[in-house]
Amino acid sequence: MTSLKAETMILISKTLYAQYINCLKKNNVAADQCQVYVKWLRYFLDFCDKHVITPDKSERIRFFTEKLREKRQSDNQCQQAAHAISLYFEMQGMERPPENSFDEPNREPHQIAERETVPQVFDEKFAPSAEFTSFKPRQSQYLVAGYQEKSSSPEWDELIDKLADEIKVRHYSRKTLKTYAHWSRQFQRFLKNKSPQELSTADVKEYLTYLAVKCKVAASTQNQAFNSLLFLFRYALKREFGILKDVPRAKKSLYIPMVLSMPEIEAILKQLYYPYNLFVKVLFGCGLRLFEGLQIRVSDFNFDAGKLLVHGKGKKDRMVPIPEAITQELKVQIEKVARLHEQDLATGYDGVFLDDEIEKKYPKAPKEFMYQWVFPQQSLTVMEETGKRRRYHLHESQLQGALYHAVRKAKIPKKVTAHTFRHSFATHLLQANYDIRTIQTLLGHSSLKTTMIYTHCVPVRTVKEAKSPLDFDA
């Protein structure tokens, strides 16, 4: 194990530590190997915390040992690690995580753990009660966006700060801030910290030419870089961008979305476990983008009217029907969230994450039930700047990891992402002869041209299908 890096890992509770040591003694593990087994357990819990895989214990052990081999651990070490985890599962006496993982008292230890460095096993002050979930340090989302990272050029740092201020004033998304800051930094590196005051249209032409000719980037990537630099010049530098001529542009090809049939979707759902199976049903049943599904709050559901309020791209809200097939499941989910909320209030948490403007206007809102996430993280998050303990929604990587393995276990030979279910939603409505403008409204598209791409996916049988006059009925 000496070749593995001593990185931060799960800190197991004192109770679990004692139980595991007793289990090792009962199974005749040598005394000098007990701490090695404990370390393997902590590596495993840390691995499960970072990579959502499968509830099947044998599959989890297999994925874990594969990861160890990637880290150049020997066969003997991998066998020892597998034995350590097998004993842990034997001690736990459960095959899969409980369905009601929000309020089940017998949660897995990595769900009630704190992160510490490898040499430590437990610490009294961090030993959580049965009601606590884990706490993870988290930077503010604007810090995550990367614009506050400093470079060797104070002039460029000041310019990026101005860029961020202009984006915030316009209430653009944090992803937009992250993307624009990224391309501005790439532009800075390309020009080797050339003074911002000396920037010209020629520099932009040279950089875009470099992306197209040398890097051979996709058309969408080149357009993203172009729009980022356009915003940088126009609003941060306060100067006109100029006319770009003779700049090679990546040719944009016709994109036909990947869609799934109903049997394929059902096969994937069978391989997903709670809460990801319900989450995917919401994505497909309502035609949501990934971030739209993650950010659903309790107040967004109107079960009496059968409608879901979706907070879409560009701060544009829309209403979509709640699928009747999963209405009861959603009500049960909200009941679980209610119980989790009561536990959080009892432990004195600081509420969920809200947009800054809402929290400033309504300071008590983060703790109110109506603002709770419908798909919350199992762990509380500690804000590094303030020390407050907050609850975030499921992270997109967790769903993506679970979906990745579900698709492969279902043996679907297609590239399936969370967005594939949105494509499938639109395509299935087209096949059912729904009007294209109705689908546009449900998807939240500003332009009908965007929705029309789905007409390329499958043949659509409508009364307006092209037909030769010779074939008309007499």
- Output DSSP code: residue 3: T
| Residue type, position 320, single letter | V
Alpha helices for 105-199 (secondary structure H): 141-144, 154-169, 174-190
Distance CA 425, CA 245 (A): 41
Q: What size, in residues, is the chain? A: 474
Q: Are 367 and 358 in contact (CB under 8 A)?
A: no
Helix (H, G, I), strand (E, B) or coil at 309: strand
Q: Is 456 a catalytic residue?
A: no
Which helix (H) or strand (E) segment holds residue 7: the answer is none
Region class of 464: left (phi > 0), else alpha (psi between -120 and 50), else beta: alpha
Catalytic residue among 341, 422, 423, 428: 422
387 CB neighbour count, 10 Å cutoff: 9
Distance CA 118, CA 135 (A): 17
Q: What is the 3-state secondary structure (H, E, C) of 45-113?
A: HHHHHHCCCCCCHHHHHHHHHHHHHHCCCCHHHHHHHHHHHHHHHHHHCCCCCCCCCCCCCCCCHHHHC
Catalytic residue among 313, 331, 339, 395: 313
Half-sphere exposure of 165 (CA within 13 A, CB side): 9
Burial 405-436 (b: 16+ CB within 10 A, else e): bbbebbebeeebebebbbbbbbbbbbeeeeeb
Cα 40 to Cα 23, 62, 77: the distances in Å are 15, 14, 9
Q: Is 361 a catalytic residue?
A: no
Catalytic residue among 142, 307, 419, 434: 419
Catalytic residue among 281, 289, 297, 390: 289
| Residue type, position 428, single letter | H
Cα 343 to Cα 100, 133, 334, 348: the distances in Å are 14, 10, 14, 9
Q: Is 311 a catalytic residue?
A: no
| Residue type, position 176, single letter | T
Q: Is 422 a catalytic residue?
A: yes
| Residue type, position 305, single letter | A
Distance CA 296, CA 315 (A): 14
Q: Is 454 a catalytic residue?
A: yes
Catalytic residue among 42, 281, 389, 445: 445
Residues noted as catalytic: 289, 313, 419, 422, 445, 454
